[in-house]
Structure 1
Amino acid sequence: MSRKSSSRRRFLAGIATAGAAAVAGCSALPFGAGEERREAPASLPADAVGPVEWPASPYPVAVPGSLAAAHESRTRELLDDVPTDPDLPNAGVAAAIGDDREQARRRADAEVPDGWPVDVLSAWRRRREDAAEVRGAYRAATGADEGSDLIARRRAVRDDRGALASGLEYRAESPAAAVLAYEPIESLLAECAGHVAPRVTYPDDPVAEPFRAGEAVARVEHARAAISDAAGLREAYLDGRDGATPQWASLVAAADGLRGSVIRTRATVRERTGGEEPFADEDLSGTVAQELVAVSDLRTESAVEDVERAVEADEYATAAVESGVALAEIEAYRRAVAAIRDGEHREVPSESSVRSAADRAGTAVAEAVEGGGPLATRLVRPAVEAVGYVADRIAEGYGSVRRSQAELAYAALYANAVPPAAEFVRERLARGAVGDD
C-alpha cells in the first residue's frame, strides 16, 4: 500500500495546484511551465476541518510488530555509525552530513502519522532509507568504497524478490480474501523493484561524490526493507491457514473482467453526462462546482489508469482493488455532474459551508465502513486521505475556501459510492470470471 499511498498523496497535491484548472465551462486549460492558477490566500481557521478517523485495518491478520521493530532497530543502528560532528577533510561535506544525520534522527524519533499498520511499516521504510543515505554518504566521504558490496547486496535483494514473486500463487480461502491479503504484498514487490533497479549508480570516486554514493546505498536498503516486509506479511497471513489454496486463476480472470467493466462504465458515464466538457455552455468560473468537476474528472482518469497499469503489471489483487476505486470514482463523477445540473455547489463558499462539507464527508466514510466489510473499508481509503489532506492544507495556511469545499464534497460523493462498488467487485471475484455486464 505504501507505493499507492505515496502516489495518492502526490496526486492530491497535484489537484491542489494545477489540477483544478478548469475555467468558464470547466475547460481544463494547461499552465505554462511552473505556472499555477492564482487564488486568494486561505481564510479558514486551522481547525475548520479535522481529519477523519481511520477505520480498522482491512488487512485480514494482525501485522507483526516485529517488522516495524526491525526497521527501527536498523534505522538507529545506521545512524549510530555516523558521528554527530563528522571529522572529514571537507568541512562543507562534514557539515551537510551532520545536518542530514540530525534530520534523520528527528524523523526517527517522531510519531508515526495516522493510518493502518501497513502505513506504519511504510513510514519506517522511509526512515530507514534516510538513515542509510546518511551512513552511505559518511562512509564514502571517509574513503570507504562500498561499490562491490552494493552490487552483491542488490543482487541478493533481486533474487529474494524474484523467489517471492514467482511463488506468490495468491493462496487464500477465497478470491476476495486473496485480494485483501496480497494487494499490500504486490505493492511491496513493486516498491522493491523500483528501488533495487540501479537508477542511481555508485560513483567510481565516492570521496568526490559522497551524496550520490549515499543515495545509491539508500535505494538498496529501501529495497531490502520492502522485500522483508512483503515476506513478513505473506508469512503472517499464511500462518496456520491449512485450508488456503491458490487463487491465481480466479484473480487473473476477475481482474481482466473488472478492467473491462471499468472501461465500459467510464465510456457510458461520459456519454450520458455530456462528454469531456459536460458544462461547456455554462460559466462556472469562481464556483465550487467548477472545482468539483475538475477534481472529479482528474480522479476518474487517474483511477482508470491505475487499473490498466495493475493489470499490465500482472498485479491482480491490486487490479481488483483499483477497479473498485475506479468504479466508485466514476460514480462520484456522475453524481457530481448531476448535482451541479440540479443547481447544487453554485453558492459562495464560507467557513460554515466548509465545516458542513467536512461533516458530510466524515459521515459518508463512517456509513461506507459500517456493515460494508473489509473490502469497502479498503476502498474508502481515498476519501479518508482526501479529507486528511484538506485538513493539513488548511492547518498549514494553504488552499482556498472554494477548493477545500470542493474536495470535501467530492470525498463525500466518493465514499457514498463505495458500498455498491465493493459489492460489484465481490460478486465478480466470487464468479472468478466476468461475462457481459
Structure 2
Amino acid sequence: MDVSLGGDEERGYDPAALARLAEGSDPTAPDAFPVRVTEASVERHYGRVRELLEAVPERPDLPNGTVAAELRERRQRAADDVEDREEARTGLERLGDGRYARGEAAAVHGAYRAATGGIDRETVADRRAALRSDLRGFEGEWAYRGGDPSRALVVHAEFEELRERARRGAEAWPPFPADPRADVFRVGEIVRGLENGVATLGDASRLRTRYVEGRDDPQSYRTAITAAAHRLERRASWRRRRRHEFLDRRASEAFERSVEGTPAEYLYHEARERVRGAADEADDARRTGDHATATLRSATELAGILAFDEVVDAVEAGEYGPPEDADRIAAALEDAVAALREAWGTEPVPASVELTRPARDALRDARRRLEDADGDARTVDRAYANLAYVRLYAERVPEAVGAVTDALGGRG
C-alpha cells in the first residue's frame, strides 16, 4: 500500500468492530522461568500483608481526624486489593503482585506507627543497615551457578533485577522527617521502600537456593556470561552503525517522501526508539556489572535493529499507509499474535520469552489504542503501527536467541 495521509477527516472506522478487537485477550507467554515458584513463597507475602494490616485498627483513633480518615481509607484499599486480587499468569508475576501488596500494607502500617509515636529515625536506620548487610551476604555468595547456560542466563538476569530493586529499598531516601507525627505518610513511603527491599531480597535468595539445589553439578557461568555480554554488544553495535543515518534521524528527515501522520511514521518511530532504549539499558547494565541483564538487553537490541532494518526497507518501498478498514486491523492483529506464538517456540524457550518483551508491550499498546479509538483514524493508525511492530520484531527473535546461544558458547 502506498504511503499517503488519506485525509484523516475523511477516514473513519467502525467503533464496534474496533471494540471487539480490543476486547480480545492477548496470548499467554509460556511460564518458562527455569525455577518453580511455590505457592508457599507467594503466600509468605500475603501472610505478611495480613500481619501488617492487623496491627492497624480499622478505624484509627488519632487526634488528627484528616489523617485518621486517610489511614482508614488506605487500610481498606490495601485489604480490598488482597481480597480481590486476580491470579497472575506466571510464578514471577505472582511473586511481584505479592511484593506490591506487601509494600502497600507496609506503607499503611508505617504511617500508623508514625502517627502514634511508634517509629523513629533509629528504627528505620537499623532496619536499613540490616537489609544492606543481607545484600552484601547475597552478593558475596553469588557465583552465577546453574545447569544449561542459556537458562542460567535468564535466571541470573532475574536475580540481578531483584537485587537492584532491593538496593533501591536500602537507599536512605526520602529522608526521615524531623517530626514523624507531622509527616506520617512520608514515613509510610519510607517503610514501604524498606519492606519492598526486604521482600525482594528474600525472593531472590529463595529462588537462587531452589535453583542451585535443583542441579546435580551446577557450574559457574560468571565468566561465560560476562564474555557473552561483550560479544553481543559488539555484534549489536556493528549492526547499529550500519543504520546510523536512520537511527539519528526522525522519519520526517529520513525519507524522500512525506510520511507524516501515517502508520509508517509511527512504526518507524517505535522501532527506532526501541533500539535506542535497549542500547541504553544494555550500557547501564554493563556499567553496573549486571552482565546477564546486559547480555539479554543487547540481544533485545539486536532483534530490534533487525526489525528496524525491515521497517526502513518497507517504508522506502511505500508500505504502511493507512489501513483500509477494521478487517485490515484484524488481519494485522492475527499476524502479530501468530508471530509471537512462533517466537515462543524457539529453544531455549526461557530466552525467547524474555526477548519477546518489546513485542508483548507493543501488543498491549495496540489493544489500549483500539479500546480508546472510537473510530478515530489517527489512533487507529498508531494501533496498526504497534501491531506491525509486534510482527516484525517477533519474527527476528529466533535469530537473536541464536546469537545469545552462540555468545555463551564463545562464538560470534
CA RMSD of the aligned region, Å?
2.3
Residues of 2 paired with 1:274 and 1:178: CA distance? 33
The corresponding residue for 2:130 is 156
Partner of 2:336: 361
Aligned with 2:271: secondary structure?
Answer: helix
Matched residue, 2:380? 401
| Deviation by residue 1:220-272 (Cα, 9 ceiling, x = unmatched) | 0000011001001101111231310211111111112211222121111335x
Counterpart of 1:229, as a letter, is: D
Distance in 2 (alpha carbons) for counterparts of 1:285 and 1:99: 48
Q: What amino acid does structure 1 have at the position aligned with 2:297?
A: E
Q: 1:78 to 1:58 in 2, by over 3 A?
A: same
- Which of 238, 242, 249 does residue 276 from structure 1 map onto? 249
**Which has the higher mean CA deviation after the structures are superposed, 124-133 or 139-148?**
139-148
Residue type of the alignment partner of 2:20: D
SS of 2:99's equivalent in the other structure is helix
Among 105, 116, 134, the residue aligned to 2:79:
105
Q: What CA distance in whole angstroms lies between the structure 2 residues aligned with 1:128 and 1:41?
A: 44
State which drifts further: 206-215 or 43-52.
43-52
Secondary structure class of the residue paired with 1:241: coil
Q: Which piece of structure 1 moves more, 407-416 or 251-260?
A: 251-260
User: 2: CA distance between counterparts of 1:327 and 1:132?
Assistant: 41
Please give the alpha-carbon distance, in whole angstroms, between the structure 2 residues aligned to 1:100 and 1:169. 42
Equivalent residue for 1:69, pick from 27, 43, 47: 43
Given residue 276 of structure 1, which amino acid in structure 2 is its aligned partner? R
Q: Does the 8 Å CA contact 2:151/2:348 hold for their aligned counterparts?
A: no
Q: Which moved more, 1:338-347 or 1:187-196?
A: 338-347
Alignment partner, residue 248 of structure 1: 222
CA distance in 1, matches of 2:371, 2:263: 20
Secondary structure (helix, strand or coil) at the match of 2:32 reads coil
The corresponding residue for 1:324 is 299
* AA of the residue aligned to 1:412: R
Letter in 2 for 1:428: A
Q: Say which is worse superposed, 378-387 or 117-126, in terms of deviation.
A: 378-387
* Counterpart-to-counterpart distance in 2, 1:294 and 1:51: 26
**Separation in 1, partners of 2:264, 2:317:** 11
1:331 is paired with a residue of what secondary structure?
Answer: helix
SS at match of 1:267: helix
- In the other structure, the counterpart of 2:234 is 260
Gap regions ≥5 residues in structure 1: 1-23, 26-39
1:39-118 aligned at under 5 Å gives the runs: 43=15, 45-49=18-22, 50-112=24-86, 114-118=88-92
1:54–1:116 CA contact under 8 A, matched in 2: no
Q: Percent identity?
A: 30
Partner of 2:9: none
List runs of 5+ in structure 2 lacking aligned partners.
6-11
Q: Does 1:135 align with 2:114?
A: no
Q: CA deviation at 1:274?
A: 8.0
Distance change (3 Å), C-alpha of 1:42 and 1:64: farther
1:390 equivalenced with 2:371 (yes/no):
no
Q: Any conservation in 1 of the 2:271–2:307 contact (CA below 8 Å)?
A: yes
Aligned length, in residue pairs: 395
1:183 aligns to 2:162 (yes or no): no
CA separation of 1:388 and 1:202: change in aligned 2, threshold 3 A = same
Cα deviation per residue 1:99-157 (whole Å; 9 max; x = unaligned)? 11122122222334644211221121111111100111111112222422211111111
The yes-or-no answer on 1:413 pairing with 2:387 is no
What code does the residue aligned with 2:118 have?
A: A
Structure-1 separation of matches of 2:293 and 2:358? 15
Deviation, structure 1 residue 350 = 3.5
Counterpart CA distance in 2 for 1:88 and 1:350 is 60
Give the match for residue 6 of structure 1: none
Alignment match of 2:401 (pick from 407, 418, 422): 422
